[in-house]
């Protein structure tokens, strides 16, 4: 995994030296702030429920989580492959796994910083006299970052499979939507696909693992392992796909 | 097939195999992680440690309490969720037992030691399994594991399974007759609710008596049952859980206050009581009765000659006409009046009198109370009974009493409506009186500015004060407590503080604008 840190820094620098990252930040902050205010008004000024809205507690989080990681990862492999840069990278004394891991870490770091903007809101209401539950915020942020890591890994798989960034983004968004909606449709699909497949869908239920611990202020090793395991599985696929490119030439 | 095509096929197969391997490995890792796991609670509510309010209750128990646990495993496929519910409950009871070993003993009965377990069950007069029995002397409270201490969604796996659960007598399971073969759902552990029912059980067994509370009816009061947000159903239910007996009194049917009444609640009567009733109530209070009084909105709009105000005047308590209002802050940060929100008052510790048993626990834990359309009280009236009038909750210095033209609330201070603190909750303690039977009793009146304070819509915020008020009137000071919050809650004053303009312009526009500006700079530099 030598060179992973170099790739990570390079990708992170590339992200933040691109206007897209700042536009995404601005858009996310604007959405977060407005939904936060709406939640405050509707909740009678209660801050903790409003703060976790963007860390997995509501649909605004999922809206960003499904669409932002594909936009971040769409160019990471497919664009470099199209421009010929990927070949240079793969011939460097850096393993394919290190390349993929470095890019995944960069995307996850970006998303972690994006979710961390909620702490700005928490700081603001804290200055106004409220006492946010920092423990719940920290665990919810951890959960949101793990979701971001998983979706970034899927984005890298799509980017490795696709020849163009747009196609990569499209495939990644489809995969994210499937992962988001299929567990919700579990009961409806049980009759069609049978109990075993429905049971399998329970094993990829992001909502249950997020709300069962992270959103309650609890760090549960089982739920952390859930996200880490699926992220590693996706990254493994991405590495295998990049290796296949090498052999296909 | 050319070697190039074979290569592609081979690589494709490898990719598929890699995908299958990755999925299987992930599934295996998730299963293993669920076998042995650890959990760390970082939340403010700290469910892993006993809340100080619960410790207070245990501390004040008059006698030691024994908690007997009778758990039995369920058959597959319910063994998993049952084990989870039992484990959570045992974990909580372990924390409880460790907290005060001298006041509370937890005994877990081994289902395999059938004879000993059955003997204890017979001793307690309890049947069945998966129960927790809280006993104090001869008094006991039985808690069901499934449905009370833990919530489990039993799903709908098979006809046999449904029948098994039904035969176990588990609450919430549908009858086998209503089983739908198409609606397959596995059982799932939902939530552990142990703390609240357990504390309620402690309270129930630790009291030798259940005070009887009478609410007047048939005079336009909000209902004690039903789901109306302006009703008192949640208040009545909470009182019952807290060990009170709640009943209704129709003064038209029985003019005298019921003989077994310990507390009389005159909450939200929009029609005046007859003269005979008011005299009976006044006599009852003078003889040591405890009364909770809260006027209806109508009484604040149109003070009635024979309404609650005339009753309170006998005791030197004057209910002033009008609604207490406070300005709210608009988007520009300046105080604004004339809005419906002006009649909603959220009072924090700054508005509560320190040192009183009713307000001090709330002040210490920085809780709030909320009023909607509340009147104000003052001392006065030459005919008033001698006694002590103590304000407990007051509005802010910028509040005023909005006087009504009929049905036309301006909610804006006008001539004659002066600003200043208004007393929203007050207590009048009469002089102690020796009764004919030789006993000495002291009547008390707890007056709250509006009946909506106890309505279901505001009950989440006002629950602690409302229950403490009745416990204080019942002279059960050892039960005054502030319950743990379901999760850490904290409020920002969105109506009257600077929160709205700061958050709207600061977080909503300025911060995103800064990031957008940085993006623009990056874009221009790249182009340059």
As a three-state string, the secondary structure of chain A is CCCHHHHHHHHHHHHHCCHHHHHHHHHHHHHHHHHHHHHHHHCCCEHHHHHHHHHCCCHHHHHHHHHHHHHHHCCCCHHHHHHCHHHHHHHCCCCHHHHHHHHHHHHHHHHHHHHHCHHHHHHHHHHCCCCCCHHHHHHHHHHHHHHHHHHHHHHHHHHHHCCCHHHHHHHHHHHHHHHHHCCCCHHHHHHHHCHHHHHHHHCCCHHHHHHHCHHHCEEEHHHHHHHHHHHHHHHHHHHHHHHHHHHHC
> Angle at CA A97, nearest 5°, toward A93 and A102?
85
Distance CA B481, CA B76 (A): 42
CA B21 to each of CA B17, B28, B117: distance values in angstroms, whole numbers, following the listed order: 6, 10, 50
Which chain A residue has the Cα nearest residue B33? Answer: A222
Residues of chain B neighbouring A225 (CB-CB closer than 8 A): 29-30, 32-33, 37
Reported confidence tier of residue B48, pLDDT bands at 50, 70, 90:
very low
Task: Return the minimum-mean-pLDDT range out of A38-47, B449-458, B485-494.
Answer: B485-494
Between CA A107 and CA B146 the distance in angstroms is 44
User: Which residues 6+ apart lie within 8 Å of B3 measured at CB?
Assistant: none
Residue of A nearest to B42 (CA): A135
DSSP notation for B307-337: SHHHHHHTTTEEEESSEEE--EE-TTSSEE-
Judging by beta carbons within 10 Å of its beta carbon (0-12, 13-18, 19+), is residue B3 exposed, middle or buried? exposed
Residue B135, sorted as left (phi over 0), alpha (psi -120 to 50) or beta, turns out to be beta
Q: Which residue among B42, B182, B506 places its CB closest to the CB of A124?
A: B506
Which residues in chain A are closer than 8 Å to B14, comparing Cβ atoms?
Answer: 240, 244
| pLDDT confidence of residue B415 | 66
| Cβ atoms of B304 and B270 closer than 8 Å | no
Taking Cα atoms as reference points, which of B267, B325, B318 lies closest to residue B297? B267
Determine the residue of chain B that is closest to A230 in CA distance: B26
State the DSSP code for B110.
Answer: P
Output the pLDDT for position B439: 77
Do A218 and B14 lie within an 8 Å CB cutoff? Answer: no
Burial of B263 (0-12, 13-18, 19+ CB in 10 A): buried
The CA distance from A198 to the nearest CA of chain B, in Å, is 9
Cβ separation B515–A26 shorter than 8 A: yes
For residues B240 and B259, what is the distance between their CA atoms, to the nearest angstrom? 20
Decide if B90 contacts B198 (C-beta within 8 A). no
Dist. CA B373–CA B377, nearest whole Å: 14
Helices of type H across B254-367: 275-286, 297-301, 308-313, 360-364
Of residues B306 and B323, more confidence is placed in: B323
User: In chain B, which residues have their Cβ closer than 8 Å to the Cβ of A227?
Assistant: none
Q: Which two tokens stand for residue B499?
A: 């929160």
Check: CB of residue A137 under 8 Å from CB of residue A118. yes
Predicted pLDDT of residue A186 = 63
A241 vs B contacts (CB less than 8 Å): 15
Which of A18, A33, A150 is the mutation pick for testing B, counting most B CBs within 10 A?
A33
The stretch B200-217 carries a mean pLDDT of 81
Angle ∠(B79,B85,B88) on CA atoms, nearest 5: 135
B142-180: b (≥16 Cβ within 10 Å) or e = bbbbbbbbbebebbbbeeebbebbbebebeebeeeeebe
Q: If you count residue pairs, one on A and one on B, with CB atoms under 8 Å apart, how many are there? A: 210
> pLDDT > 90: what percent of chain A?
29
Contact B65, B136 (CB under 8 A): yes
Q: Does A190 touch chain B (CB under 8 A)?
A: yes
What does pLDDT average to over chain B?
A: 81
Q: Is B307 exposed, middle or buried (0-12, 13-18, 19+ CB in 10 A)?
A: buried
User: Is the Cβ pair B520, A133 closer than 8 Å?
Assistant: no
Place B407 in a pLDDT band, splitting at 50, 70 and 90: very low
Given a cut of 90, is residue B285 above it in pLDDT? yes
3-class secondary structure, B43 = coil
What's the distance, CA A126 to chain centroid?
Answer: 28
A8-24: per-residue pLDDT in tens? 998 889 888 888 889 88
CA distance readout (Å), A64 to A28, A76, A113, A156, B433? 7, 19, 13, 17, 69
pLDDT digits (tens, 9 = 90+) for B295-304: 998 888 777 7
> Do A130 and B183 make contact, defined as CB atoms within 8 angstroms?
no
**Cα–Cα distance measured from residue B496 to residue B83, given in angstroms and rounded to the nearest whole number:** 49
CB atoms within 10 A of CB B348: 16
Cα–Cα distance list, B289 to B258, B430, B441, B479 (Å):
11, 10, 8, 20
Q: Which of A121-125, A234-238, B394-398, B524-528 has the lowest mean pLDDT?
A: B524-528
Residue among B256, B293, B277 nearest B454 (CA): B293
Res. B408 pLDDT band, cuts 50 70 90: low
Exposed, middle or buried, B102 (CB in 10 Å: 0-12/13-18/19+)?
exposed
Contact A26 B38 (CB under 8 A): no
B420: left (phi over 0), alpha (psi -120 to 50) or beta: left
Using left for φ > 0, alpha for ψ between -120 and 50, and beta otherwise, residue B30 falls in alpha
CA–CA distances in Å: residue B3 to residues B8, B14, B287: 9, 16, 107
- Map tokens 């003269």 to a residue: B275
Around A13, how many Cα atoms within 13 Å sit in the side-chain half-sphere?
A: 6
Tell me how far CA of residue B142 lies from CA of B66, B133, B293, B462, in angstroms. 12, 5, 34, 28
Residues of B with CB below 8 A from A29's CB? 507, 511-512, 515
- The terminus-to-terminus CA distance of chain B in angstroms comes to 53
Chain B nearest-CA residue for A19: B519
Q: Verify whether the Cβ–Cβ distance A225 to B495 is below 8 Å.
A: no
| Residues B445 and B315 sit within 8 Å (Cβ to Cβ) | yes
Q: Residue B367 above 60 pLDDT?
A: yes
Strand intervals (E) in B79-148: 104-109, 131-136, 139-144
Using CB atoms, pick whichever of B30, B44, B519 lies closest to residue A26. Answer: B519
Chain B closest-CA separation from residue A89 CA (Å):
21
* pLDDT single digits (tens) A136-191: 899 999 999 999 999 999 999 999 888 888 999 999 999 999 888 877 776 566 55
pLDDT tens readout for residues B463-516: 999 999 999 999 888 778 776 555 556 777 766 667 778 888 888 888 899 999
- Looking at chain B, which residue has its C-alpha nearest residue A126? B492
Confidence bin at B36 (pLDDT 50/70/90): low
pTM, rounded to two decimals: 0.59
Q: To the nearest whole angstrom, how far is the Cα of A141 from the nearest Cα of chain B?
A: 13
* pLDDT tier at B248, thresholds 50, 70, 90: very high
3-state secondary structure of B208: coil
What gap in Å lies between CA A31 and CA A35, rounded to an integer? 6
Of B95, B99, B162, B84, nearest in space to B130 by CA:
B84
Which of B33-37, B60-64, B269-273 bottoms out in mean pLDDT, i.e. has the lowest?
B33-37
Closest CA to B8 of A248, A181, A34: A248
Q: Are B188 and B151 in contact (CB under 8 A)?
A: no
* Backbone angles phi and psi of B136, in degrees to 5: -140, 100
Q: In chain A, positions 149-178, which contact chain B (CB-CB < 8 Å)? A: none
Is A125 in contact with B515 (Cβ distance < 8 A)?
A: no
Which of A128, A191, A223 best tests the B interface by mutation, with the highest count of B CBs <10 A? Answer: A128
Determine the Cα–Cα distance for residues B364 and A100; give it in Å rounded to an integer. Answer: 54
Cα–Cα distance measured from residue A143 to residue A54, given in angstroms and rounded to the nearest whole number: 11
Q: Which residue of A has its CA nearest to B502?
A: A124
Strand-pair partners of B40: A219
Most B CBs within 10 A among A20, A39, A44, hence the mutation to make, goes to A44
Of A44, A190, A234, the CB nearest to B491: A44
Q: Which of B187, B490, B501, B503 to substitute to test the interface with A, most A CBs within 10 Å? A: B490
- Residue B248 β-bridge partners: B215
């Amino acid at each position: 995994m030598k060179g992973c840190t170099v790739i990570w820094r390079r990708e992170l620098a590339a992200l933040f030296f691109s206007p897209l990252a700042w536009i995404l930040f601005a858009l996310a902050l604007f959405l977060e702030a407005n939904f936060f205010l709406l939640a405050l008004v509707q909740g009678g000024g209660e801050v903790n429920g409003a703060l976790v809205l963007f860390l997995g507690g509501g649909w605004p989080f999922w809206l960003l989580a499904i669409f932002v990681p594909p936009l971040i990862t769409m160019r990471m492999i497919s664009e470099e492959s199209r421009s010929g840069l990927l070949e240079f990278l793969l011939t460097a004394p850096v393993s394919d796994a290190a390349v993929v891991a470095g890019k995944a870490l960069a995307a996850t770091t970006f998303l972690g910083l994006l979710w961390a903007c909620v702490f700005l809101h928490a700081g603001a209401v804290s200055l106004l006299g409220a006492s946010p539950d920092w423990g719940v915020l920290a665990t919810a942020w951890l959960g949101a970052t793990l979701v971001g890591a998983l979706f970034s890994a899927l984005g890298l798989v799509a980017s490795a499979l696709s020849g163009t960034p747009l196609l990569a983004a499209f495939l990644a968004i489809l995969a994210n939507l499937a992962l988001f909606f299929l567990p919700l449709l579990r009961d409806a699909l049980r009759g069609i696909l049978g109990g075993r497949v429905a049971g399998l869908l329970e094993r990829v239920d992001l909502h249950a693992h997020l709300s069962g611990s992270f959103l309650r202020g609890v760090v549960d090793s089982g739920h952390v392992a859930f996200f880490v395991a699926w992220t590693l599985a996706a990254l493994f696929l991405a590495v295998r796909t990049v290796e296949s490119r090498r052999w296909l030439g | 097939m050319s070697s190039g095509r074979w290569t592609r096929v081979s690589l494709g197969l490898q990719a598929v195999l890699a995908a299958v391997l990755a999925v299987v490995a992930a599934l295996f890792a998730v299963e293993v992680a669920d076998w042995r796991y650890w959990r760390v609670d970082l939340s403010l509510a700290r469910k892993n440690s006993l809340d100080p309010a619960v410790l207070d209750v245990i501390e004040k128990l008059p006698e030691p309490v024994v908690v007997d646990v009778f758990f039995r495993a369920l058959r597959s496929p319910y063994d998993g969720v049952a084990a989870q519910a039992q484990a959570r409950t045992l974990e909580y009871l372990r924390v409880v037992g460790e907290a005060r070993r001298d006041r509370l003993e937890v005994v877990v009965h081994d289902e395999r030691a059938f004879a000993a377990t059955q003997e204890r069950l017979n001793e307690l007069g309890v049947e069945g399994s998966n129960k927790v029995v809280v006993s104090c002397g001869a008094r006991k409270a039985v808690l069901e594991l499934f449905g009370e201490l833990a919530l489990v969604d039993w799903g709908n796996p098979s006809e046999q399974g449904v029948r098994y659960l039904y035969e176990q007598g588990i609450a919430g399971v549908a009858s086998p007759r209503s089983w739908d073969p198409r609606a397959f759902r596995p059982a799932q552990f939902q939530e552990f609710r142990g703390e609240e029912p357990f504390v309620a059980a402690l309270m129930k067994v630790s009291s030798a008596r259940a005070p009887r509370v009478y609410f007047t009816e048939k005079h336009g009061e909000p209902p004690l049952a039903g789901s109306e947000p302006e009703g008192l159903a949640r208040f009545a239910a909470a009182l019952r859980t807290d060990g009170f007996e709640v009943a209704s009194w129709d003064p038209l049917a029985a003019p005298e206050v019921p003989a077994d009444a310990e507390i009389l609640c005159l909450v939200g009567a929009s029609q005046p009581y007859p003269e005979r009733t008011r005299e009976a109530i006044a006599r009852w209070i003078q003889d040591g009765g405890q009364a909770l009084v809260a006027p209806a909105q109508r009484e604040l709009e149109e003070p009635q000659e024979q309404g609650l105000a005339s009753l309170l005047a006998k005791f030197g308590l004057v209910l002033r006409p009008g609604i207490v209002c406070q300005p709210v802050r608009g988007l520009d940060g300046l105080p604004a009046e004339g809005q419906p929100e002006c009649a909603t008052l959220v009072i924090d510790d700054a508005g509560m009198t320190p040192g009183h048993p009713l307000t001090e626990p709330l002040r210490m834990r920085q809780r709030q109370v909320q009023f909607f359309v509340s009147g104000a009280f003052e001392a006065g009236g030459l005919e008033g009974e001698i006694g002590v009038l103590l304000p407990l909750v007051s509005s802010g210095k910028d509040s005023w009493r909005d006087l009504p033209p009929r049905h036309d609330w301006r909610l804006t201070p006008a001539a004659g409506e002066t600003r200043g603190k208004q007393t929203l909750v007050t207590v009048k303690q009469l002089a102690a009186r020796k009764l004919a039977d030789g006993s000495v009793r002291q009547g008390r009146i707890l007056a709250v500015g509006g009946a909506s304070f106890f309505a279901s819509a505001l009950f989440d915020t006002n629950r602690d004060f409302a229950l403490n008020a009745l416990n204080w009137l019942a002279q059960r000071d050892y039960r005054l407590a502030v319950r743990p919050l379901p999760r850490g809650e904290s409020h920002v004053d969105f109506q009257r503080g600077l929160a709205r303009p700061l958050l709207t312009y600061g977080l909503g526009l300025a911060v995103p604008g800064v990031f957008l500006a940085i993006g623009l700079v990056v874009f221009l530099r790249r182009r340059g």
